Amino acid sequence: MIPLSKNKDDVVYLSVNLRRIKALVSVDVNKNKVTVLSCTKKNQCLYEECFEYCEVAISARNYVTGKTPKAEIKEVGGEVLVGIGEYRVGVGIILKTIGLGSCVGVALYDSHENVGGLAHVMLPGNSSNGNTKYAGTAIEKMLNDMEEMGAKKRRIVAKLAGGAQIFKHMTLDVLKIGDRNIQSIEEKLEDEKIKIVAKDVGGSVGRSIFFNTFDGSVLVRYSNGGEKWL
């Protein structure tokens, strides 16, 4: 077995690229169990539970046992959860945030240094006391932390997801927090000269985000069971 970066549970997270398939995989080294967490071919896959015939699972298993995989594989340093109104930055990890309704997930990425940041924005505008649940404050602090980790602001790009109108009966503009969050975030990023390269916002469905800082890809999972890659 080749050396691996394992967490305390001896579970290894892998980013797998196999031809046109992109997937995130976890491998329990002790149990030799492979779990495909997400895959761009999910809707076309013949193996609902990712059985041993799945090429992604086979490549991941070959990687951890020292055999030559058919796919391009990189280790990911585990998952870090970003709570409501929080942000996190890191290198070579998966940043995730769940339960986005009117809140918006803001993913920032420098592909040269593989430094990424993810914020779970609750409210538009800025905070007078540094509270990162506000769009402007979260983005400012996240950019500063990323630059301290070696990122260059001129290289950073953004991806957004969230801002749904979950309660459709709320018609007053002041109650449309999702729309206001999106507008506030876009205005702040424009002020900071950060380009938005992809977004999946609005609608009436909740979302969760999985941000892979190895390649900058963002997986959006919908509360109705759907998925989308940004």
Q: Which two tokens stand for residue 192?
A: 């900071």
What's the rounded Cα separation, in Å, for the pair 26 and 9? Answer: 11
- Could you give the number of structural domains in the chain? 2
Has residue 89 been placed in a domain? yes
pLDDT at position 152 is: 96
**175 or 64: which carries more pLDDT confidence?**
64
- DSSP-based three-state secondary structure for 191: helix
Q: Which of 17-21, 26-30, 33-37, 205-209 has the highest mean pLDDT?
A: 205-209
Residue 101 shares a structural domain with residue 181: yes
Residue 64 shares a structural domain with residue 167: no
Helix (H), strand (E) at residue 200: strand 195-201
Q: How far is CA 211 from CA 86, 115, 170, in A?
A: 15, 11, 31
Residue 128 shares a structural domain with residue 210: yes
User: Would you tell me how many other CB atoms lie within 10 Å of the CB of residue 154?
Assistant: 8
First to last CA, the chain: 34
**22 or 153: which carries more pLDDT confidence?**
153
Which of 188, 190, 167, 187 lies closest to 177 in space, CA to CA? 167
Q: What is the dihedral of CA 171, 174, 177, 182, to 10 degrees?
A: 110
Taking 90 as the threshold, does the pLDDT of residue 72 lie above it?
no
Residue 116 shares a structural domain with residue 146: yes
Residue 107 shares a structural domain with residue 120: yes
pLDDT at position 1 is: 32
Residue 48 shares a structural domain with residue 122: no
Residue 124 shares a structural domain with residue 34: no
Residue 125 shares a structural domain with residue 24: no
Q: What is the mean pLDDT of residues 147-154?
A: 95
**118 or 48: which carries more pLDDT confidence?**
118
Taking 90 as the threshold, does the pLDDT of residue 93 lie above it?
no
Residue 204 shares a structural domain with residue 170: yes
Domain extent at residue 216: 79-229
Longest pairwise C-alpha distance within the chain: 60
Has residue 5 been placed in a domain? no
pLDDT at position 75 is: 77
* CATH code for position 124: 3.30.1330.200
Residue 96 shares a structural domain with residue 63: no
pLDDT at position 2 is: 37
pLDDT band at 7 (very low <50, low <70, confident <90, very high): very low
From 50, 76, 102, the end of a domain falls on 76
pLDDT at position 48 is: 52
Taking 70 as the threshold, does the pLDDT of residue 44 lie above it?
no
Has residue 4 been placed in a domain? no
Taking 90 as the threshold, does the pLDDT of residue 192 lie above it?
yes
How much is the pTM? 0.76
Has residue 2 been placed in a domain? no
Residue 86 shares a structural domain with residue 107: yes
**197 or 225: which carries more pLDDT confidence?**
197
Has residue 164 been placed in a domain? yes
Residues with catalytic annotation?
Answer: 103
**190 or 5: which carries more pLDDT confidence?**
190
Residue 15 shares a structural domain with residue 87: no
Has residue 1 been placed in a domain? no
Determine contact, residues 79/20, Cβ cutoff 8 Å. no
